[in-house]
Amino acid sequence: MADPAQMANALRALAMDAIQQANSGHPGAPMGMADMAVALWSGHLRHNPADPRWAGRDRFVLSNGHASMLLYALLHLTGYDLPIGELKNFRQLHSKTAGHPEWGVTPGVETTTGPLGQGIANAVGMALAEKLLAAEFNRPGHTIVDHRTYVFLGDGCMMEGISHEACALAGAWKLGKLIALYDDNGISIDGQIAPWFADDTVKRFEACQWNVLGPVDGHDAAAVQRAIGQARQWSSDRPTLIICRTHIGFGSPGRQDSAKAHGEPLGASEIEATRAALGWPYAPFEIPPHIQAAWDARAAGAHAQQQWDERFAAYAQAFPQLAAEFKRRMAGELPAHFAQTAVDAAVAAHQKAETVASRKASQIALEAFTAALPELLGGSADLTGSNLTNTSHTLPLRFDTAGNVVRHEAGQIGRHINYGVREFGMAAIMNGVALHGGYIPYGGTFLTFSDYSRNAIRMAALMRQRVIHVFTHDSIGLGEDGPTHQPIEHAASLRLIPGLDVWRPADSAETAIAWAQALQNKDRPSALLLSRHNLPYLPRRNLSNISRGAYVLSEPGDAGLARAAQAVIIATGSEVHLALQAQDLLAAQKIAVRVVSMPSTSVFDRQPPRYQLAVLPAGVPRIAVEMGATDGWWKYGCAAVVGIDRFGESAPAPKLFELFGFTSQNVADTVRAALARRS
């Protein structure tokens, strides 16, 4: 076996050379964590470079994503499809080596990291998914789900609040197969961290029910390897944190232990000095064959996967249905019968034509969908009774003192998670669950607190993950809780996130269809914005076109005026029935109005122009009605918007509707005024 120190130096050299070539990047952390990487990647990590999606692989998350060159060097050296040319192209347009690791861009990157603290939360989600899948699918003598989740994280991740949320849950959930290695180098961008990071990290993690090992010398690969071995041995009822004392920029005579090592290329002369200090005589990007061979993980990976394949074949023989179900779930495919389930749920809502809050309509739809989809893994950030995210099929998820998943009476595991008051943690954990595969996570909170989760929602969109956010109490209609709880800019601001579908359904049929769309859209997250207050069922002839994001709900003829529309009212969610009332008022004055319900702007925006024009005809003035910020509506060329561009008030909802102009009279007046301005 090659000298572990030289294996680590190969990582250091590739990192400093690629960063120098790009003239951009973060050399300090890769150089500091190189020995930890040797310990994990050559000693413990079970992976197969030829098949980065192999279900039985260990997961590795680089939570301190600015150390991306460490991961790229590891993937290259161990044999992933990441040739040296890609490392030479670090941070360049269309390379596979983006500034920070990106899921879906680089084979072997398990999650996109860079926003500090979210990687560790993703890892918690992955470890949770592993544990739950093991409880669901393993059978005596047939252990097919049995892998670990490893994380590297630094001071930045430790300081971020989200790491507290996620690590507290990892302890509470007793995720024994989660092993985190902390790059404890005492430096962040502003310098020595002691004045702003005085936490007792050992006590913190012990208090969160973790095992803590170390501090160990993070440059002693053998010591780190032993610590990982110890953590693996424990692996029962506690996650493990291994504290690794390291030197940022290790090996660089002029930069080691300084904040300057963090985020600047070393420079040609310092690289030369570092090569000399490390005893690494090779040219830039040159890896000697014996080091390359020592890193090559392809044979071991193929062997590990083959062993797993054999185990899986025996499992499939003994439990063919379970095996097929496991494959389906890991592939993220819905069962063949789901399309019918989705239709049935919408038709049932239509036939019942109930007046319900859309949050309740969501629960009714979920009742059917959680029955049909065992992979639905729900939850709420301590608002279950308000978000209505639970159903009779999703009992609470619980763990016993030994760390096992508690089974309910019929032997099933809980599928509804009490995340506690941890919105951001919940959102990032859900991303990890989705990335792992096997589950479709959804979670609830109030819409106004979507801000807490926001960056994780953005990351789900960036990673194209099917994560579903249930945001209830979606307007001033929540009433007396007041402006702190009344979302104003939230719908508009969520709609700005590329790749996120935002749905604000108007009644029970729209809600069922929004849910079905969110579930059927395999490669995008969705947010469902749901009302607290009751909404009447809308009069409609059929359910077609709801899934297209916007559709003509009512023509002037429906209000007794058989003529072409002079104006179009576009409304969403709880305001659609108001639009219909305004349509009636206007019809009485011989003003012909079409009402368009637009539950999802992004879905509508993706429709062919012909359809868009059929819904919103050219030359007919448009008036939008939504209880929220008006900004986003102007893009539809609206002549007027009935919206809210200030904070709400604390009062009973009917008073607020009056105050903010959400009355049929005001909507009708606004339409009339818009028409008057044109003539």
Ligand X SMILES: Cc1ncc(C[n+]2csc(CCOP(=O)(O)OP(=O)(O)O)c2C)c(N)n1
Which residues are known to be catalytic? Answer: 423
Neighbours of 291 (CB within 10 A): 20
Is residue 66 at the binding interface for ligand X, with CB under 6 A as the rule?
yes
The string of DSSP codes covering 270-300 is HHHHHHHHHT--PPTT---HHHHHHH--HHH
Neighbours of 617 (CB within 10 A): 14
Q: Which stretch binds ligand X (CB under 6 A): 148-156, 489-497, 512-520, 565-573?
A: 148-156
- Going by DSSP bridges, is the β-strand pair 551-554/593-597 parallel, antiparallel, or unpaired? antiparallel
β partners of residue 441: 377
SS3 (DSSP) at 407 = strand
Residues 6+ apart with CB under 8 A from 149: 58, 59, 60, 61, 123, 126, 127, 130, 175, 177, 178, 179
Range 21-50, binding ligand X (CB under 6 A): 26, 28-29
Q: Which stretch binds ligand X (CB under 6 A): 3-11, 111-119, 336-344, 576-584?
A: 111-119
Binding residue for ligand X, selected from 86, 136, 155, 423, defined by CB under 6 A:
155
Is residue 125 at the binding interface for ligand X, with CB under 6 A as the rule?
no
The least distance separating ligand X from the CB of residue 97, rounded to whole angstroms, comes to 17
Range 390-449, binding ligand X (CB under 6 A): none
The least distance separating ligand X from the CB of residue 101, rounded to whole angstroms, comes to 12
The least distance separating ligand X from the CB of residue 154, rounded to whole angstroms, comes to 3
β partners of residue 154: 183
Is residue 116 at the binding interface for ligand X, with CB under 6 A as the rule?
yes
Report yes or no: 358 and 535 within 8 Å, Cβ to Cβ.
yes
- Going by DSSP bridges, is the β-strand pair 187-188/191-192 parallel, antiparallel, or unpaired? antiparallel
Neighbours of 355 (CB within 10 A): 12
| Site size toward ligand X, by CB under 6 A | 19
Phi and psi of 26, rounded to 5°?
Answer: -125, 95
H/E stretch holding 140: none
**Looking at beta carbons only, is 158 or 639 nearer to ligand X?**
158
The least distance separating ligand X from the CB of residue 246, rounded to whole angstroms, comes to 8
CA-derived radius of gyration, the chain: 28
Is residue 114 at the binding interface for ligand X, with CB under 6 A as the rule?
yes
- Joined together, the tokens standing for residue 297 give 């993980």
Binding residue for ligand X, selected from 31, 248, 304, 656, defined by CB under 6 A:
248
The least distance separating ligand X from the CB of residue 268, rounded to whole angstroms, comes to 22
Binding residue for ligand X, selected from 68, 188, 465, 601, defined by CB under 6 A:
188
**Looking at beta carbons only, is 271 or 368 nearer to ligand X?**
271
Query: Using CA atoms, how far apart are residues 47 and 615, in angstroms rounded to an integer?
Result: 51
**Looking at beta carbons only, is 28 or 125 nearer to ligand X?**
28
Binding residue for ligand X, selected from 156, 218, 378, 444, defined by CB under 6 A:
156
SS3 (DSSP) at 596 = strand
**Looking at beta carbons only, is 247 or 469 nearer to ligand X?**
247
Query: Using CA atoms, how far apart are residues 277 and 206, in angstroms rounded to an integer?
Result: 38
The least distance separating ligand X from the CB of residue 138, rounded to whole angstroms, comes to 36
Range 252-291, binding ligand X (CB under 6 A): 262
**Looking at beta carbons only, is 346 or 459 nearer to ligand X?**
459
Query: Using CA atoms, how far apart are residues 416 and 87, in angstroms rounded to an integer?
Result: 43
- Joined together, the tokens standing for residue 278 give 């490390």
Report yes or no: 596 and 631 within 8 Å, Cβ to Cβ.
no
Binding residue for ligand X, selected from 27, 101, 108, 154, defined by CB under 6 A:
154
**Looking at beta carbons only, is 145 or 428 nearer to ligand X?**
428
Q: Which stretch binds ligand X (CB under 6 A): 152-160, 286-294, 368-376, 660-668?
A: 152-160
Q: Which residues bind ligand X (CB under 6 A)?
A: 26, 28-29, 64, 66, 114-116, 154-156, 160, 183, 185, 187-189, 248, 262
